[in-house]
Amino acid sequence: MATRRFPGLALDELDDVEVRPLEELGGPRDDVEGLIMADEPVPLALLPKLRIVANFGVGYDRIDVAACAARGVVVTNTPGVLDSAVADLAFALILAARRQIVDGDRLVRSGQWGRSQGGLAEELTGSTLGIVGLGRIGRAVAQRARGFDLRVLYTGRRPAGSDLGELRPIDTLLSEADIVTLHVPLTDETEGMIDARRLALLRDGSCFVNTARGDIVDEDALVAELVSGRIRAGLDVFADEPHVPPALLDLPNVVLTPHLGSATRQTREAMSRLVVDNVLAVARGDPPLTPVPVKPD
Ligand code: 8YV
């Protein structure tokens, strides 16, 4: 069963796939052995014969992996194939917010160009980029930063001395960077990690970008900082998608996108390929290619 029609031809390699949103499941289904979905809670009680949950995405914060493991259900995700797309979008948001691209677009469309060109933006080249989480996606962001001559600071488990930048404790990174971009998964440790106190550490005029998960940030506190006009932001993710805090909608200092991080044709097709390869492996009785690790309770 797939909760929606995922892109690409790979899905056609699976026989007998029913496309049905989980909320339309109705009752128990003992004919479903594989579930393809995008970071949704798994209705284990309704799917007694389930063998694999193949998540279309790298983040799996809404899947109870331990409960699945206890039932013998394998959970897989799609790491690696979306790093470039997400890093590209992070830079798109950085450039859009920093160079006032959306504001400029509005100015042109409203016929105001000529009367005004808008205020001057802040240059990206040569500024300091803080990467919160130097995992696969964070590293792809750091590599792109080289082309903009950015000084890179990062938090993460990698030892100091990485050639991609300078390791900093998170509070120091937030107060030193001109641009902060989040690339940690949503976990118990990272939920609400960027709280009001940490947001207050951001420098005046700095730019905050989130392509990871909305719940990593105290959204109310972020909205308050943006309403005050003290910082800029590029936001692709929100705490309660597709709900976006109404206070953000008219702000000129925030660029909003609808969770587009992995949304390129190439990446989404690669994600579908990996999803299907995981399902086929488990169907054959082989180990899955990219299983999600089960953490001990
Ligand atoms: C979504 C994502 O899975 O990989 C992730 O963690 O958030 C995205 O790739 C994708 O947008 C499908 O909803």
Structural domain count, the chain: 2
- Cα separation values, 212 from 121, 162, 235, 270, Å: 25, 22, 9, 19
* 204 and 87 in a common domain: yes
Across-strand partners of 113?
116
Is residue 89 assigned to a domain? yes
What is the rounded average pLDDT of the residues 190-202? 98
Does ligand 1 lie within 6 Å of residue 85's CB atom?
no
* 171 and 100 in a common domain: yes
Does ligand 1 lie within 6 Å of residue 60's CB atom?
no
- Residue 173 pLDDT greater than 80, yes or no: yes
Q: How confident is the model at residue 224 (pLDDT cuts 50, 70, 90)?
A: very high
* 121 and 72 in a common domain: no
- Residue 160 pLDDT greater than 90, yes or no: no
What share of the chain has pLDDT > 90, as a percent? 93
Ligand 1 mean position, distance from CA 233 (Å): 20
pLDDT for 128 equals: 98
Is residue 297 assigned to a domain? no
Does ligand 1 lie within 6 Å of residue 100's CB atom?
no
- Residue 215 pLDDT greater than 90, yes or no: yes
pLDDT for 296 equals: 63
Write the residue with the smallest CA distance to atom 9 of ligand 1.
57
Average pLDDT, the chain: 96
Catalytic residue among 139, 168, 198, 213: 213
What share of the chain has pLDDT > 70, as a percent? 98
Q: List the CATH number of the domain containing 70.
A: 3.40.50.720
Q: How confident is the model at residue 239 (pLDDT cuts 50, 70, 90)?
A: very high
What is the rounded average pLDDT of the residues 129-149? 97
Contacts of 112 (CB under 8 A, 6+ apart): none
Which residue range is the domain that position 174 belongs to?
A: 83-256
Q: What is the pTM of this model?
A: 0.96
